[in-house]
Structure 1
Amino acid sequence: MTQQLRSPLIPVAFYDLSKSERADLVLVIQGIIKEALLGQSLLKAHLYFGDDDTYIRKSAYLVTGRLYSGEEALRPAILAMLSQFLPDPDFRVRQTVINAAGEIGKWHFEEVRFYFDEGLKDPHHSPRNAVIGSVKKMGEVNPVPVLAWAREYLHHEDKEIRREICHGIELRGRKHPEDILPLLRELQHDRAARVRNTLVHVIGQIAYKKGCLMKVLVHLEDWENRPLVDAALEEIIDVHHRYRNFAALTQAEAIGMIDAHYPGRKRKDL
Structure 2
Amino acid sequence: MGFYDLSKEERAVLVAKIDSEILEDFSNSSLKQTLDYFSDEDTYIRKSAYLAVGKIHKNKKLAVNAIISLLDKLFTSEKEKVRQTVVNAAGEVGKQAFETVTHFFDKGLFDEHHSVRNAVIGSIKKMSEKNPIPVLAWAKKYLHHENKEIRREICHGIELRGRTHPQDILPLLKELQNDQTSRVSNTLIHVLGQIAYKKGCLETVIAELNTWENKQLVEKAIDEIVDVHHRYRSFAILSQKEAIAYITENYKTNVIE
Equivalent residue number for residue 227 of structure 1: 216
Contact 2:206 2:251 in 1 (8 A): no
**1:176 and 1:134 mapped to 2: Cα distance?**
18
Deviates more, 1:227-236 or 1:127-136: 127-136
TM-score when scaled to structure 1?
0.92
Letter in 2 for 1:147: L
**2:129 and 2:251 mapped to 1: Cα distance?**
31
Number of corresponding residues: 257
Q: How does 1:173-252 map to 2 (within 5 A)?
A: 173-252=162-241
1:48 to 32, 37, 48: 37
Contact 1:68 1:74 in 2 (8 A): yes
Contact 2:226 2:240 in 1 (8 A): yes
Cα deviation, 1:6-35, whole Å, max 9, x if unaligned, reads: xxxxxx211111111111111100111111
Letter in 1 for 2:59: G
Kindly tell me: are residues 45 and 156 of structure 1, through their superposed partners in 2, closer, same or farther at Cα, counting changes over 3 Å? same
Q: How does 1:89-168 map to 2 (within 5 A)?
A: 89-168=78-157
Contact 1:162 1:195 in 2 (8 A): yes
Cα deviation, 1:208-266, whole Å, max 9, x if unaligned, reads: 11110000000000101000000000000000111111111000000001111236434
Q: Give the % identical residues.
A: 59
1:32 to 21, 25, 39: 21
**1:37 and 1:167 mapped to 2: Cα distance?**
33
**1:100 and 1:264 mapped to 2: Cα distance?**
46
Could you tell me how far 1:71 is from its partner in structure 2?
2.6
TM-score when scaled to structure 2?
0.97
- The CA RMSD measured in Å over matched residues stands at 1.2
Runs of at least 5 residues in structure 2 that lack an aligned partner in the other structure: none
Letter in 2 for 1:136: K
Contact 1:37 1:74 in 2 (8 A): no
Could you tell me how far 1:40 is from its partner in structure 2?
2.5
Q: Secondary structure of the residue that 1:35 maps to in structure 2?
A: helix
**1:214 and 1:41 mapped to 2: Cα distance?**
52
**1:87 and 1:192 mapped to 2: Cα distance?**
33
Cα deviation, 1:143-167, whole Å, max 9, x if unaligned, reads: 1000000001101111101101000
Equivalent residue number for residue 70 of structure 2: 81
Letter in 1 for 2:133: V
**2:109 and 2:73 mapped to 1: Cα distance?**
18
Letter in 2 for 1:71: K
Q: Secondary structure of the residue that 1:73 maps to in structure 2?
A: coil
**1:42 and 1:57 mapped to 2: Cα distance?**
14
Could you tell me how far 1:72 is from its partner in structure 2?
4.8
Letter in 2 for 1:122: D
Contact 1:67 1:74 in 2 (8 A): no
Runs of at least 5 residues in structure 1 that lack an aligned partner in the other structure: 1-11
Q: Is 1:70 matched up with 2:59?
A: yes
Could you tell me how far 1:75 is from its partner in structure 2?
2.6
Letter in 2 for 1:245: S
**2:69 and 2:180 mapped to 1: Cα distance?**
39
List structure 1 runs of 4+ shifted beyond 6 angstroms.
Answer: none
